[in-house]
Copies of this chain bind each other. A is one copy, B any other.
Amino acid sequence: MIRVQEEDFDVGAEIAALVRGNHEIGGVVTFVGLVREVTGGAPIAAITLEHYPGMTERGLAKIEAEAHQRWPLSASLIVHRCGRLEPGERIVLVITASAHRRAAFEACEFLVDWLKTKAPFWKLEETGEGGRWVEARHADAAAAERWTKG
């Protein structure tokens, strides 16, 4: 399941709702991304995530479907926030549930690597010097490349 929203999310409630009633699930891996205060240069006061409603959800649904093809997942959820977020705030939630913990770990990391580099968002960083649109990062792209089929 996929959601893009301005509101915060409740990690415990999302996990509970996702696995409820499924007693085959043995492991649930969750990634919560937080807004960092320092990402290289000056401390940031806030970021603003802009996206393309409709296209974003299609992109997220597609990568989620790919994860289900590659790993035996029982359930998954991606929630990505948009709008203005300050350091320490939750920005993204990825949950993968499987009978087998290795599948849940790998699928979760695969989704997070993709989201961090290829999720259709544009990020504006606010610092004391004003706002700056972030450019695509090469290190993150390399992390996502790990998952490319040979």
Contacts and interface: CB of A to CB of B under 8 A. Distances in A.
A10 to B, nearest CB: 5
A30 B33 contact: no
Given A19-B88, A30-B30, 5 more contacts: A27-B31, A29-B29, A31-B105, A36-B99, A105-B109
A37 B143 CA distance: 36
A15 interface: yes
Contact of A32 (B10, B21, B28, B36): B28
A14 to B, nearest CB: 8
A120 interface: no
- How many monomers of this chain does the complex have? 2
Given A112-B101, A143-B102, A36 B10 contact: no
A26 interface: yes
B32 A31 contact: no
B34 A27 contact: yes
B24 A37 contact: yes
B15 A32 contact: yes
A23 interface: yes
A42 interface: no
